[in-house]
Structure 1
């Protein structure tokens, strides 16, 4: 273990034997300190929307396809001209040093090992440059929590462009922090400096609560901000936190190159719909004008299949990856991606889909199961 400001960070580095991703949570709880674990696992209020995110996948079922005459499904895909070996990507997740001493650097290595796409949060434990350097040549996105201070925004965007990121994810659904009871119960303060905040803080970025950090974030985010970031960086801007067709079309009209359907993993507006339940209507409205990324509640290969069949182009997740990070470092992250890809490949075979393009055309049926 590595100790930073009294916080015990995992130094584990090993491949994991995984039965399923949901089982990792209990194992990770044993080694991540209480405050850090509560921050990672918790949602807003009583976690209703967090729970619905995964339960909503039961609202659609995959149609098996026999006599399909295929074998060895191909998981490779492409987005913004980036070739990927898997349609599953790392969602931007803050403060990964809470799970492991190597934080985002280890995550980047693990994602690169499976040929996936990494995304890094503004509130990461390691700098944009260090995260990029940990996986040279591997594709990465940078996620921006817009600040009220545009000098800060421009500085981060400059660093992201210099580091060679392939796109900017602009989060628009977290202008204030959700009411996260786990953090209140634990009186949680970030014990580990946030590398991207250090040069703009009087101290070292540690010892702040999530509310204090969000206080400096922009509460007013509009269409002009999307245009401003796209024009400044000359990179694709993917607007994250879209939960309605109207907002999707508004973002595209403002110059967004991608739509990211997400409710922040149930961490912001409790009582809002499960992300999977709103995905089909958003995909219909977008009508292939731009790619769609989806996250919130993904825990199984079948969830990946359903999200792609419902209109997503890439599927992201974070919490299970952070559990794998704590349990096994970069190799643990790799193990998590390999597990969900393995499950997804089985589903592809049984559904008679050879390619990701086939999955996107696969029919889903809908029955109202009560259990």
Structure 2
């Protein structure tokens, strides 16, 4: 059986992340949803990271005489409309056929930075072309093969990546319990790997 990803195009109302996750889960293949949403083993690290993030607070400046909020900031020499950037997320093609391409466009429209994963379902070049001139980062999963590392970094630089996000803790794939329970076998190509 061939994996069928979504090609649906419609506006969605996002109230919060939990509600969005429930909507997505209802429309996705169980194994694909488990892969995208899940983490390794009992997801302890993922839960701890979420808890740590939730402890951070943004304290607004009050009585500053401003009539409208301005979230713009600068990261290195990159002007941003928001202080939040998109974290790299592998295999977005599992959720939608345009996956990383539409994410790149949306993040660019929001005035932020798109980060493409080594394990994306689209090429680094195609993601850059989807949002011409918009800043992008590249997430490198460090390989034992130095030839691959050099090859993929050169591709990212040639496509205009402003920075490399180095993932060093994945020399072995995580034991993803949701994938085991769902008997998930990855159904889509990863063109950045295939190019090597």
Post-superposition CA distance 1:37-66 (Å, at most 9, x none): 010111222223323333345546666765
Match of 1:143 among 131, 139, 144: 139
Match of 2:149, SS state, is helix
Match of 2:153, SS state, is helix
Give the TM-score taking structure 2 as reference length. 0.91
* Matching residue of 1:266: none
Separation (CA, whole Å) in 2 of partners of 1:193 and 1:35: 16
Greater mean alpha carbon deviation, residues 176-185 or residues 62-71: 62-71
Match of 1:96 among 57, 75, 92: 92
Give the TM-score taking structure 1 as reference length. 0.50
Q: Does 1:6 align with 2:2?
A: yes
Match of 1:7, SS state, is coil
Q: Does 1:195 align with 2:194?
A: no
Q: Does 1:54 align with 2:50?
A: yes
**Structure with greater proportional helix content:** 1
Q: Does 1:81 align with 2:77?
A: yes
Instruction: Within 5 Å, give how 1:249-264 maps onto structure 2.
Output: none
Separation (CA, whole Å) in 2 of partners of 1:18 and 1:140: 24
Separation (CA, whole Å) in 1 of partners of 2:92 and 2:10: 17
Aligned length: 196
Match of 1:31 among 18, 24, 27: 27
**Larger Cα Rg: Structure 1 or Structure 2?**
1
Separation (CA, whole Å) in 2 of partners of 1:178 and 1:159: 26
Q: Which has the higher contact order (CA 8 A, sep 6+)?
A: 1
Post-superposition CA distance 1:285-321 (Å, at most 9, x none): xxxxxxxxxxxxxxxxxxxxxxxxxxxxxxxxxxxxx
Match of 2:117 among 121, 137, 158: 121
Q: Does 1:20 align with 2:2?
A: no
* Matching residue of 1:105: 101
C-alpha contact 2:137 2:161 (8 A) present in aligned 1: yes
Separation (CA, whole Å) in 2 of partners of 1:134 and 1:86: 20
